[in-house]
Amino acid sequence: MDQQLFATCDSFSEEVVIALVGKYVKINDAYASVNKALSHAAIHSKRALKIKFVDSELLEDGKPPELKEKCDAAWETVKSAHGIIVPGGFDKRGVEGMIKACQYARENNVPFLGVCLGMQCAAIEVARNLLGIKNANSTEFNKKLHEDEQVVIDMPEHNVEHRGLGGTMRLGRRTSVFLTDHCKLRKLYGRDEIEERHRHRYEVNPRLVPDLSRKGLLFVGMGVDETTGTIFSKQCRTQSSAALMKMAEDHAANEILFSSYPLPPNCFKDLLSKITDLCHRGGDGVTRPALRMEMCEMK
């Protein structure tokens, strides 16, 4: 079976080059799950995959002259790729380079996927360059940010200051529902509700989600803070959280099938209204149910 698979993969003639822009690229296995997922996607698409690893620090401004050659080579790798993926990570090292990669992909219409920190970097980039929030950032990297600059925040019910690091991560399998049929991700998944595994303690600030969406970064999928990652997670939602999920699942009656993608103007308006209402109803996970705006894509 393996030999048959290898022979099939070797027969693919059309190459696809993906630039993986991260902070741990010196060790290939640091992104093992991402590498495997890309390989599986390439086989499904009948493409010969080439992953090129890019150190995100080399994409940042202000590097010393002796690194110019390496920085130029890093940017050449990004610019020559068919697609860009920015994966997860912790702490601020290399983050500005990841944000630069997000900006390049958006401005040049390059296929892009941001996972975990990568998605957060994409939101920060849009906030800085489209919303005009010059110092937009994550509270993971700067605890002294003004409230209006906090694009990525600690999830309130997992706040480290109150609980310490122990037990503060959102872990395990969680349910996400699509807010609209008119999105790339819904079409790719092929269903209204999905389950993915999580390991994080930060989220895009729901207070800024409506403004980000109006600028074209549409938040098309959400979840709530289920207290368990098991198959019984739906039963663990509070009544108010379940009401939020029900509201998210209710698609507008006049929505048309995928053939109408991208969003018709009336459906775009309906989606923005739903996003705004959901973010207004959600809360800190204590006084009001927390909601997680988990999936987004450019309009």
> Domain with 134 in it: what CATH number?
3.40.50.880
Q: In this structure, is residue 226 part of a structural domain?
A: yes
Q: In this structure, is residue 141 part of a structural domain?
A: yes
- Domain's final residue, options 85, 118, 153: 153
Q: How many domains does the chain fold into? A: 2
pLDDT the model gives residue 27: 87
Give the rounded percent of residues in the chain with a pLDDT score beyond 70: 82
Are 187 and 146 in the same domain? no
Find out whether 127 and 136 touch, Cβ atoms under 8 Å: yes
Claim: this prediction has a pTM higher than 0.85: yes
Are 83 and 115 in the same domain? yes
Are 123 and 220 in the same domain? no
Enclosing domain of residue 272: 155-299
- Domain's final residue, options 153, 186, 214: 153
Are 211 and 104 in the same domain? no
Are 160 and 282 in the same domain? yes
Find out whether 70 and 99 touch, Cβ atoms under 8 Å: no
Q: In this structure, is residue 2 part of a structural domain?
A: no
Q: In this structure, is residue 59 part of a structural domain?
A: yes
Are 199 and 146 in the same domain? no
pLDDT the model gives residue 212: 97
Opening angle at CA 121, ends 36 and 32, nearest 5: 15
Are 255 and 134 in the same domain? no
Are 49 and 184 in the same domain? no
Are 148 and 72 in the same domain? yes
Q: In this structure, is residue 1 part of a structural domain?
A: no
Average pLDDT of the chain to the nearest whole number:
85
Are 21 and 49 in the same domain? yes
pLDDT the model gives residue 207: 93
* Residue in 99, 138, 100, 135 with CA at minimum distance from that of residue 118: 99
Q: In this structure, is residue 6 part of a structural domain?
A: no
Q: In this structure, is residue 32 part of a structural domain?
A: yes
Tens digits of residue pLDDT in 132-178: 999 999 999 999 999 999 999 988 756 555 555 555 677 778 888 99
Q: In this structure, is residue 250 part of a structural domain?
A: yes
Tens digits of residue pLDDT in 87-145: 999 889 999 999 999 999 999 999 999 999 999 999 999 999 999 999 999 999 999 99
Task: Check whether 292 has a pLDDT greater than 60.
Answer: yes
Are 122 and 161 in the same domain? no
Three-state SS sequence of the chain: CHHHHHHHHHCCCCEEEEEEEECCCCCHHHHHHHHHHHHHHHHHHCCEEEEEEEEHHHHCCCCCHHHHHHHHHHHHHHHHCCEEEECCCCCCCCHHHHHHHHHHHHHCCCCEEECCHHHHHHHHHHHHHCCCCCCCEECCCCCCCCHHHEEEEECHHHCHHHHCCCCCCEEEEEEEEECCCCCHHHHHHCCCEEEEEEEECEEECCCCHHHHHHCCEEEEEEEECCCCCCCCHHHHCCHHHHHHHHHHHCCCCCCCCHHHCCCCHHHHHHHHHHHHHHHHHCCCCCCCCCEEEEEEEEC
- Domain's final residue, options 121, 153, 185: 153
Are 160 and 294 in the same domain? yes
